[in-house]
């Protein structure tokens, strides 16, 4: 817990502003993705607990499923009948 507090001081923003509804773990367990009730998506490094430096806001229907690609380069998001791919490296 102490490490997370120290990291939060170094990162300009951390976490979500509403409760987390979904979690997804990358195949090699190096990353975890979280989706909050406000449809924001964060990706976290499991080795440090540090979030990557972006938040993605998904418009439209709530995100109902998330899954990493086999190499963890992309995160698939299902929102209503729309599928989106997130580039994990930069959040685009």
Tokens 């449809």 belong to which residue? 39
Q: What is the pLDDT of residue 17?
A: 82
pTM of this prediction? 0.81
**Nearest CA among 60, 61, 54 for reference residue 75:** 54
Return the pLDDT at 14: 62
Task: Tell me what pLDDT residue 11 has.
Answer: 45
Per-residue confidence of the chain (92 residues) as pLDDT tens digits?
Answer: 556 555 545 544 467 888 899 999 999 999 999 999 999 999 999 999 899 999 999 999 999 999 999 999 999 999 999 999 999 999 99
């Amino acid at each position: 817990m102490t490490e997370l507090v120290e990291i939060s001081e170094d990162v300009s923003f951390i976490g979500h502003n509403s409760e987390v509804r979904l979690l997804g773990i990358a195949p090699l367990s190096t990353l975890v993705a979280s989706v909050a009730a406000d449809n924001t998506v964060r990706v976290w490094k499991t080795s440090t607990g540090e979030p990557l430096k972006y938040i993605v806001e998904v418009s439209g229907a709530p995100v109902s499923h998330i899954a990493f690609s086999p190499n963890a380069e992309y995160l698939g998001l299902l929102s209503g009948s729309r599928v989106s791919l997130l580039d994990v490296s930069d959040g685009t």
